Chain A
Amino acid sequence: MINDYFSVIRGGLNSTFQDNGRKYFYHIGLPFSGVMDKRNFEIANKIVNNKKNDPMIEFAFQGPALKFFGSKRYMVVTGDVNFKIIKKSNIENHGKCYQTFEINDGDIIDIISTNKSVYGYLSINGGFKLNKIWGSYSTTVRARVGPNEGNKITNGQKLILNNSNELVKRSLNFINSKIEFIRVLAGTNFNYFSEQSKNDFFSREFLVSKLTDRMGMRLEGVKLKNLKKTNIKSEGLVKGTIQVPADGNPIILLSDHGTIGGYPKFGVVISADYGRLVQLPPGSKIKFKEIQLKDAENLYKLYNMETHNILSKIL
């Protein structure tokens, strides 16, 4: 029996298979990777009746165009995404996020772009047939580790699907919330910086620069003045770390970050705000607010409860 599959007409800018991330390899230089926006990932899996951590396609800005070969399935797109479904009969339907849509042999799904956001998710009932690499379906393109030989999804390749699950029509009434402040905990080198720079960071606006990808987000704005030393002995990094090189422009490390580095750590973005931070496209204005550890932990609980509530509203 031949499995159902997609033929990739266009891979898109940065389309990869991702799941919840890869653990236990920091010490050899592999970051977690995994989905950037976990909430939208979990919603997508629930809507197409897949398991919570089943891998799916994450795309950035322009997504893939895929032609389907197989029998009737349900698919979903999550995020804030403009896409269309071109039926075999050439009728075009404008796609709507957060609800299952039907796809049949010969149909094409074309992910045109994300709107005022970066990442979107594409999932299909039954899921993609992939090999787990080192305990995960996440792709780290830079190290060529992950399913699809560790590569982006590219034109002309075939994406094989697992067998279908039970087909259930589902939808969710959901709008991605905008975030007013990105909340930050002081980092281990916070006190290297001048009082003026600390005040500036938590009162002035920063701009997300074009030099932003799955590895990191470079910010533009007031430069932060380091009074102590601009290089530290190389040491481990975590996602969300705000490091400040000698030029004074902060860089926030994201899911595919280098695991070791020698720039001072000004702060760390709290876990609860990470999924919304990464959705800010270049040109976005961004403001930061300093909070304390206990508040960050409580906000994370709250964020999880919210996600749980959203998932329970999927009908």
Chain B
Amino acid sequence: MIKNIVNLGDAAIYCDFGNEVNKITNSKVIQYFKTLKTKNVNGITNMSPSYNKLIITFDLNETNFDKLKEDLLNLEFKDQIANDSNKIEIPLCCDDEYSLDIQRLETKLKITKNEILKVFLDKTYFCYMTGFVAGMPFLGDLEKTIMLDRLETPRVTVPKGSVGLTEQFCNVYTFESPGGWNIIGNTPIEIFNHKNPDQPNLISPGDEVTFYKINKKDFIKFYDK
């Protein structure tokens, strides 16, 4: 399943599942990650699944690259896709004050705001991974008509709750942070809830996500709840 295993520094293993970024490759990464979590392999301290890679950090006091690589190669994995994904609906307010980069999108994509939103809202997105900042979901794939590169100069601060587009992906900024994605709106719901230690992320890898439009009145109501 893994195409190549190399070291990343002296305390991490870098597993490459192939160059292609698609659901099939990503599902293999997620499946491998989920299975490995149940296996209690000695020394593992963290795992970072992404589109087509899995990075595993380990405690150099307990194991090392050669030993852990051998442990991984000796493990048995069922090559099947897990089917425990959730369907999640995210409210999104796209009023101009939240739709920070809509003009950039309109100009570069040469279509109107309404068309952009229609294309965006009509599709169900697959969560490839979460991370960067806590809970941020990387969702794909966008329709070709609304794909655009990230900003030439990233924003120093992107407001919490912002929903942004870049290339074939969209995501939600779970905290105020720097960032260069094209912001089309803002969601009032908490995507990362640190008070829930069992499942702080609303969206997990493998989940299916849709967005629905709300107006500013409803947006404010969410905050009053």
Residues of A within 8 A of B (CB): 23-30, 32, 133-134, 140, 142-145, 150, 185, 187-188, 233-238, 240-241, 258-261, 265, 268-271, 293, 296-297, 300, 304
Asked if B21 contacts A233 (CB within 8 A), the reply is yes
Within 8 A of A (CB), among B25-39: 33
Query: With a CB–CB cut-off of 8 A, which chain B residues contact A297?
Result: 10, 60, 64-65
Within 8 A of A (CB), among B176-220: 177, 192, 194, 197, 200-201, 205
Please report the C-alpha to C-alpha distance between residue A304 and residue B11 in the assembled complex, in whole angstroms. Answer: 15
Query: With a CB–CB cut-off of 8 A, which chain B residues contact A27?
Result: 33, 46-49, 129-131, 205
Please report the C-alpha to C-alpha distance between residue A140 and residue B205 in the assembled complex, in whole angstroms. Answer: 23
Q: List 8 A-B contacts (CB under 8 A).
A: A27-B33, A133-B197, A234-B129, A236-B55, A238-B55, A259-B131, A293-B10, A293-B65
Asked if B8 contacts A187 (CB within 8 A), the reply is yes
Q: Does B161 make an interface contact (CB < 8 A)?
A: no
Taking the closest CB of chain B, its distance from the CB of A2, in whole angstroms, is 28
Q: Does B52 make an interface contact (CB < 8 A)?
A: yes
Asked if A260 contacts B131 (CB within 8 A), the reply is yes
Taking the closest CB of chain A, its distance from the CB of B116, in whole angstroms, is 23
Q: Does B50 make an interface contact (CB < 8 A)?
A: yes
Asked if B53 contacts A29 (CB within 8 A), the reply is no
Asked if B134 contacts A143 (CB within 8 A), the reply is yes
Closest residue of chain A to B6, judged by CB? A188
Taking the closest CB of chain A, its distance from the CB of B66, in whole angstroms, is 9
Closest residue of chain B to A22, judged by CB? B46
Name which of B52, B60, B130 has the most chain A CB atoms within 10 A of its CB: B60
Please report the C-alpha to C-alpha distance between residue A32 and residue B134 in the assembled complex, in whole angstroms. Answer: 12
Other CB < 8 Å A-B pairs besides A134-B197, A143-B133, 7 of them? A27-B47, A185-B7, A233-B21, A234-B51, A260-B131, A260-B132, A268-B12
Name which of B7, B21, B135, B201 has the most chain A CB atoms within 10 A of its CB: B7
Query: With a CB–CB cut-off of 8 A, which chain B residues contact A187?
Result: 8-9
Taking the closest CB of chain A, its distance from the CB of B113, in whole angstroms, is 27
Please report the C-alpha to C-alpha distance between residue A25 and residue B130 in the assembled complex, in whole angstroms. Answer: 11
Query: With a CB–CB cut-off of 8 A, which chain B residues contact A144?
Result: 175, 194
Q: Does B57 make an interface contact (CB < 8 A)?
A: yes
Taking the closest CB of chain B, its distance from the CB of A107, in whole angstroms, is 35
- Which 7 pairs between the two chains have the least Cβ-Cβ distance? A236-B48, A268-B9, A236-B55, A260-B131, A143-B134, A26-B46, A296-B10
Query: With a CB–CB cut-off of 8 A, which chain A residues contact B131?
Result: 26-29, 236, 258-260
Taking the closest CB of chain A, its distance from the CB of B90, in whole angstroms, is 17
Query: With a CB–CB cut-off of 8 A, which chain B residues contact A145?
Result: 134, 194
Please report the C-alpha to C-alpha distance between residue A14 and residue B11 in the assembled complex, in whole angstroms. Answer: 28
Query: With a CB–CB cut-off of 8 A, which chain A residues contact B47?
Result: 24, 26-27
Closest residue of chain B to A259, judged by CB? B131
Query: With a CB–CB cut-off of 8 A, which chain A residues contact B21?
Result: 233
Q: Does B54 make an interface contact (CB < 8 A)?
A: yes
Query: With a CB–CB cut-off of 8 A, which chain A residues contact B48?
Result: 26-27, 235-237, 259-260
Asked if B130 contacts A29 (CB within 8 A), the reply is yes
Q: Does B138 make an interface contact (CB < 8 A)?
A: yes
Asked if B50 contacts A270 (CB within 8 A), the reply is no
Asked if B175 contacts A142 (CB within 8 A), the reply is yes
Query: With a CB–CB cut-off of 8 A, which chain B residues contact A304?
Result: 61
Taking the closest CB of chain B, its distance from the CB of A134, in whole angstroms, is 5
Closest residue of chain B to A304, judged by CB? B61
Asked if B7 contacts A235 (CB within 8 A), the reply is no
Checking A24, A134, A260 against B46 with a beta-carbon cut-off of 8 angstroms, the contacting residue is: A24
Q: Does B158 make an interface contact (CB < 8 A)?
A: no
Q: Does B136 make an interface contact (CB < 8 A)?
A: yes
Query: With a CB–CB cut-off of 8 A, which chain A residues contact B46?
Result: 23-27, 32
Closest residue of chain B to A260, judged by CB? B131
Query: With a CB–CB cut-off of 8 A, which chain A residues contact B14?
Result: 188
Taking the closest CB of chain B, its distance from the CB of A304, in whole angstroms, is 7
Taking the closest CB of chain A, its distance from the CB of B30, in whole angstroms, is 10
Given A142-B175, A297-B64, A260 contacting B9 (CB threshold 8 A) = no
Please report the C-alpha to C-alpha distance between residue A234 and residue B150 in the assembled complex, in whole angstroms. Answer: 13
Please report the C-alpha to C-alpha distance between residue A26 and residue B44 in the assembled complex, in whole angstroms. Answer: 12
Closest residue of chain A to B169, judged by CB? A234
Query: With a CB–CB cut-off of 8 A, which chain A residues contact B85?
Result: none
Asked if B45 contacts A23 (CB within 8 A), the reply is yes
Taking the closest CB of chain A, its distance from the CB of B149, in whole angstroms, is 9
Asked if B9 contacts A238 (CB within 8 A), the reply is yes
Query: With a CB–CB cut-off of 8 A, which chain B residues contact A25?
Result: 46, 134
Please report the C-alpha to C-alpha distance between residue A32 and residue B12 in the assembled complex, in whole angstroms. Answer: 13
Please report the C-alpha to C-alpha distance between residue A150 and residue B200 in the assembled complex, in whole angstroms. Answer: 15
Asked if A270 contacts B175 (CB within 8 A), the reply is no
Checking B8, B45, B192 against A24 with a beta-carbon cut-off of 8 angstroms, the contacting residue is: B45
Given A29-B136, A235-B51, A143 contacting B130 (CB threshold 8 A) = no
Query: With a CB–CB cut-off of 8 A, which chain B residues contact A30?
Result: 134
